Amino acid sequence: MEAPPTTPRLAERYRRLLDAAAEFARLEYPEVEVSAVATRAGVSLSTAYRYFPSTAHLLLALHRRQLLELRQRVESRARNARGLEERSRQLAGAAIELLQMRLTQPAVNSCLDELVVPADHELARMIGEVDELSWSVLGRIGGGAARGKSIVLMVSGLVSGIRTGRLLPYEAEQQLKEACALLGPRTAAARLA
């Protein structure tokens, strides 16, 4: 997959493709096609396939963009946080944003949790990069990447529980808040004391 373009004209087309992909991400993974996204974005198929050779490439790039946007919000909140209790609440808020992102975008969630590719495949590397980005986003406010990883793994499990009908979204959010309280910065500071 090519890197995002830097020239204004191509960057605009790339952005339009990701904007259109966000609409399609609400569908189930098999229902999303790069050609349909390109048509919706008003971008030629050759341009779309140059940047996104498969649906998985497109959806992972979309999720990467969303995580970068979440990181900006998290960093702003972290700078303005006053005390460990507020940071813990902000961690729960960011984790719930990630949960909602994954719930409202079944196609993206399928890429992250159900796509099976060989370890040496380009998509495996992309999934790993997106995973590490999500861990670092939550770890930024939660006290480290290991805590962020634990919360992201819990988000994946909660999404699965909701999708299979074992959990209601409200129950999942409550469990996520409790996990953030246990894993959050306040707990880390107490252990160091």
pLDDT at position 186 is 53
The list of the chain residues with pLDDT below 50 reads 188-193
Helix (H, G, I), strand (E, B) or coil at 11: helix
Check whether domain 8-51 has CATH 1.10.10, yes or no:
yes
Whole-structure pTM value: 0.89
pLDDT at position 190 is 47
Instruction: Encode pLDDT of 123-150 as tens digits.
Output: 999 999 999 999 999 988 888 889 999 9
Give dist(CA 49, CA 58) in Å, integer.
Answer: 9
pLDDT at position 89 is 85
Give dist(CA 54, CA 100) in Å, integer.
Answer: 25
Give dist(CA 142, CA 181) in Å, integer.
Answer: 10
Domain ranges of the chain: 8-51, 60-192
Instruction: Encode pLDDT of 62-86 as tens digits.
Output: 999 999 999 999 888 777 777 778 8
Angle at the Cα of 57 from the Cα atoms of 124 and 27, rounded to 5 degrees: 115
pLDDT at position 82 is 77
For the chain, how many residues are written?
193
Give dist(CA 73, CA 119) in Å, integer.
Answer: 32
CA neighbor of 49 nearest in space, from 117, 110, 2: 2
